[in-house]
Amino acid sequence: MITRHILTLPATGSQPARKVHYRRCGEGPAVLMVHQSPRSSAEYAALMQHWGAHFTCIAPDTPGFGQSDPLSMTDGQEPHIDDFADALEAFLGALGVTRCAAYGFHSGGIILVTALKRHPELFSCLAVGGYAIWTPEEIALFGERYLPEWHPIAYGEHLTWLWSRMLEQSWFFPWFDVRDAARLSVAHADVAKVDQAVTEMLDAGNAYRAGYGAVLRASRDIPPANADTPPVLITAYDGDPLQEHIDRLGDMPAGWEAAKVATPVAHQDRSLAFLRSFAGDEPSPTLAEDGDEGWLNLDGTLVHWMGKRGSARLVLHPPAHEAETPSAGTLAIDVPGHGLSDDAGDIAASIERAAQVLGAREIDWPAAPAGDPALLYPSLAPDRFGTHLARAWGAARAEALFDPWYAAEPSHALPVDPCALAPSAIAKRARARLRAGHAAARYHHVLTQKRDAP
């Protein structure tokens, strides 16, 4: 089973303390898994469950992605690829891992190779999926166009762009180069895949430019042929736009190999065999994590919590919202199916179980919102055209203007609050609605039952 954890790294000379979110799965020697940009460690969920039979898989969200804090600017400059490599070194040190195998796909591989050059003692071996060696012409084509500024806009137009950008990145590479010559053989319109990528971009926000930009600007030099490094395997499958870059690698150090393979499964299988051959037989590591935030494992349901264990009160948020940082002496959770918590068949029972495990003696149940649940919580199931994003945004915007939000008439008008109508505030509420989905109506029903109980 995959578990989730938060680890706060201490401040350094150039960086304040920052939180790192990571996933863990399996037993055995540690393998570090670094995701591509602009994704998160969630993209490795299936692979972690497979490889967990052989390894303790550790997949952090890189800085600025998923639930990890971004790196700060230094002297007004965006973070460099070396900063992301050093962030891995700092994470492993705080985690308590001194040496491990590692795997990275695309930009995750760029970060790992940079980390290997700067901190070779950290790695027993690397397996990389696709390693980009750009030509000057390709670099010029990418320019700043690949990473436009991305900020919430008052009426949600940015979401239309986001859905199309994530959908069409499997159609053309780069995604904006809409020409027959730039078409990809792996084109799809898999709604679940697109929605996952969109969700991760909603988490990253404009911070995606720093992490992704550092990778695109990074030097692509691999260690010279006479360098003494841990062994490295680079593979790329048919349809991967980086497969042709295998021919650009040139002479490599002893112990390095590169190959073209037929399928994603072949790439993963060859990577696994390579990692197993060099990772050693170290026992499962003990990994550090914070004591004031994490995930409870309630019989396979992960519930995100914050606060100090043993605090008297567990404070709950309303339906289609998320937990806020709790005040002193209280605890907070994302109600199952909301925020960063898994869904649960019995929401009320899971809440009560969470309170018990956390040591809270009472639960602050909010009142059920006024209105018809069938209208309060419209379906936000993803569709082929991303219209669910517009529905979430429209509800989140109207929520600041009417109560209930769907009753757009003078008798239900709320006083205009510019703060609540700020695009960043609407974006936060819309993301909460998207995360909650159908669980919001079920939680509303729980609150109604609590209200009506004798």
> What would the mean pLDDT of 250-279 be, rounded to a whole number?
96
The residue among 142 and 259 whose pLDDT is bigger is: 259
pTM exceeds 0.85 for this model:
yes
Q: Would you say residue 76 has pLDDT above 80?
A: no
> What would the mean pLDDT of 141-161 be, rounded to a whole number?
92
Half-sphere exposure in the Cβ direction for 179 (13 Å, CA) = 4
Q: How is domain 3-149+205-278 classified at the CATH fold level? A: Rossmann fold (3.40.50)
> What would the mean pLDDT of 337-360 be, rounded to a whole number?
97
**Which range (5-14, 197-206, 323-332, 347-356) has the least confidence?**
5-14
pLDDT of residue 74: 75
pLDDT of residue 56: 97
CA-based nearest residue to 253, from 107, 154, 69, 120: 120
- Of the pLDDT bands very low, low, confident and very high (cuts 50, 70, 90), residue 2 is very high
Instruction: List, for residues 14-58, the tens digit of each pLDDT value.
Output: 789 999 999 999 999 999 999 999 999 999 999 999 999 999 999
**CA distance linking residue 114 with residue 107, whole number of Å:** 11
For residue 184, give every residue at least 6 positions away whose Cβ sits within 8 Å of its Cβ, in sequence order, or none: 170, 171, 172, 173, 239, 241
Q: Would you say residue 140 has pLDDT above 90?
A: no
pLDDT of residue 310: 96
> What would the mean pLDDT of 157-181 be, rounded to a whole number?
95
pLDDT of residue 270: 98
For residue 274, give every residue at least 6 positions away whose Cβ sits within 8 Å of its Cβ, in sequence order, or none: 125, 127, 231, 233
pLDDT of residue 165: 96
pLDDT of residue 422: 98
The DSSP-derived string for 364-381 is: EPPPPPSS-HHHHS----
Instruction: Please give the single-letter amino acid code of residue 197.
Output: A
Q: Would you say residue 142 has pLDDT above 90?
A: no
**First CA to last CA across the chain, in angstroms?**
40
Instruction: Kindly tell me the number of DSSP H helices and DSSP E strands found in the chain.
Output: 13, 13
pLDDT of residue 122: 97
pLDDT of residue 454: 66
Instruction: List, for residues 210-236, the tens digit of each pLDDT value.
Output: 999 999 888 878 899 999 999 999 999
* Intervals of CATH 3.40.50.1820 along the chain: 3-149+205-278
**CA distance linking residue 399 with residue 430, whole number of Å:** 10
Share of the chain above pLDDT 90, in %: 91
pLDDT of residue 144: 73
